[in-house]
Structure 1
Amino acid sequence: MQYGETKEVLNQLTADLSQASAAIHQIHWYLRGDDFKRYHELMDDFREDVEEQLDEVAERLIIIDGSPVSTLEEFAEKSTIDSIPGEWGKPNSEHIERLVSIFRVLVSDYSKGIEVASKEGDDVSEDIFINAKGDLELHIWMMQAELNKAPKNDA
């Protein structure tokens, strides 16, 4: 089997997960104020989750005869997650809102992956996509609740 579209999604995820990891690390560094310690440690947990997803996604791409992007330049060029400079003095709520937006990009990637992997008959990739999407939706719900917002919107 060829899995052409699935390979494309896996490579998009490789770039977006790499960029997400860097962005979460940046949030971890630039947090200040209320709940600093809790958020600081939580960012470590989120980054670890993203790194595990990244490893699984890139390895799956290799297994189905793909070649993952692997340089900082490729990640930046291919990723749909913006790279923004760190900034001191932001309220933690702004950092959490950025985190939620990053997770939403990844959920979108995984949703597309579920669709194309199903179409191409790649049950293993589809399973990876489903599980990761569910984990990220849980993170979104938790962070939206922290912001006193509903999981699926800003209200």
Structure 2
Amino acid sequence: MTAVKSPLSEAAQKTTGEALQGALVDLIDLALYAKQAHWNLVGPRFKVVHEHLDEIVDLARQAQDDVAERAIAIGVNPDGRSRTVADRTEIQQLEAGSLADDKVVAAVTGTLFEIIKRFRERVAATDEPDPITQDLLISITADLEKQHWMFQAQS
């Protein structure tokens, strides 16, 4: 088995790898979170919110793939296993059962806000060790902030 040799120093690889792993956990759980809300949504704004949740899922799934592939490119093995995500997620989980559309909008808005804060911390952490990863994280943060704005506008 051949490991990918990192283009980064050991310290830069460690810092960047931690930022990417945290981002991966956030993105995997965000996709799951949005699907859970999507499946259990009820209320007068069902269709609009239901379809908007799929945009979140699509964004999170594409971004998690980009993050995992960047990790491999710098010689870090991403860990997207369900146990890892369950153990490390910082996302407050939704209640089981039917979810009112207004509560989902508020919950998703809050969840996106918290994820964005962590992504901005990762952007700052990768400034010096790996500007290429930082660029990826900036791009994902911009997409998350757009979705945050769009959900916030619904409340």
TM-score range, shorter chain: 0.7 to 0.9
Query: Where does residue 131 of structure 2 map in the other structure?
Result: 123
State how far apart, in whole Å, the 2-side matches of 1:145 and 1:81 are: 21
The count of aligned residue pairs is 145
What residue is the counterpart of 1:33 in the other structure? 43
Q: Check if 1:23 corresponds to 2:33.
A: yes
For residues 97 and 128 of structure 1, the distance between their equivalents in structure 2, rounded to whole angstroms, comes to: 27
Aligned position for 1:102: 111
TM-score for the superposition, normalised by structure 1 = 0.87
CA distance in 2, matches of 1:84, 1:42: 17
Are 1:11 and 2:21 counterparts? Answer: yes
Q: Could you list the runs of 4 or more consecutive aligned residues of structure 1 that deviate by over 2 angstroms after TM superposition? A: 82-87
| Structure 2 unpaired stretches of 5+ | 1-7
Unpaired stretches in structure 1, ≥5 consecutive residues: 148-155
Q: What SS class does the counterpart of residue 48 from structure 1 fall into? A: helix
Give the CA deviation at 1:14: 1.0
* Structure 2 residue aligned with 1:91: 100
**1:9–1:109: 8 Å Cα contact kept in structure 2?**
no
1:59 counterpart = 2:69:
yes
1:92 Cα deviation after fit: 0.8
> Does 1:135 pair with 2:143?
yes
**CA–CA separation in structure 1 for the residues paired with 2:16 and 2:135:** 12
Distance 2:143 2:76 in 1: 25
Instruction: State the SS of the aligned residue for 1:146.
Output: coil
Greater mean deviation of Cα atoms: 79-88 or 97-106: 79-88
Letter in 2 for 1:125: T
> Is contact 2:127–2:134 with CA below 8 Å preserved after alignment?
yes
Alignment of 1:43-58 (within 5 A): 43-58=53-68
Deviation at 1:47, TM superposition (A): 0.4
- Mapped to 2, the partners of 1:69 and 1:130 lie a distance apart of 21
Residue 79 of structure 2, aligned match among 35, 60, 69: 69
- Counterparts of 2:123 and 2:23, CA distance in 1: 12
State the percentage of identical aligned residues.
24
CA contact (8 A) 2:19 2:126 kept: no
Contact 2:38 2:53 in 1 (8 A): yes
